[in-house]
Amino acid sequence: MGDKKKDYKLVADELHEICIENIGEEYRVFEKSDDGGSHIEICFEEKMPSDARKLISDPFMGWRVIFCIVPIGYLEAFSPIREM
């Protein structure tokens, strides 16, 4: 891997900026783990945005990245954005 993992909050903030400014699709960013260790999961609805793989490298700031495609409406139903 080589790159030391940056703090999750810093990485998530950077991913939010990329997704909002450059991708513009419904998405969510999660910190997850599996048998390979901790990673970042980025979920999009229905299809993979064409620029996502170009803009978000794997690894990204030291984190393994997994892209997840979910049905339309899934993100709002199961991971609603909380208003502050």
For the chain, domain boundaries = 8-78
Would you tell me which CATH number, out of the four given (3.40.630, 3.30.420, 3.30.70, 3.30.40), belongs to the domain 8-78? 3.30.70
CA distances from 12 to 7, 29, 40, 61, 74 (A): 9, 7, 8, 10, 20
* Number of other residues whose CB lies within 10 A of the CB of residue 26: 18
Q: Is the pLDDT of residue 4 over 60?
A: yes
Position 81 scores a pLDDT of 85
Query: What mean pLDDT do residues 54-74 have?
Result: 96
Question: In 1-84, which ranges are continuous DSSP H helix?
Answer: 8-18, 52-55, 74-78
- For the chain, helix, strand, coil in percent to 5 are 30, 30, 40
- Counted residue by residue, the chain has a size of 84
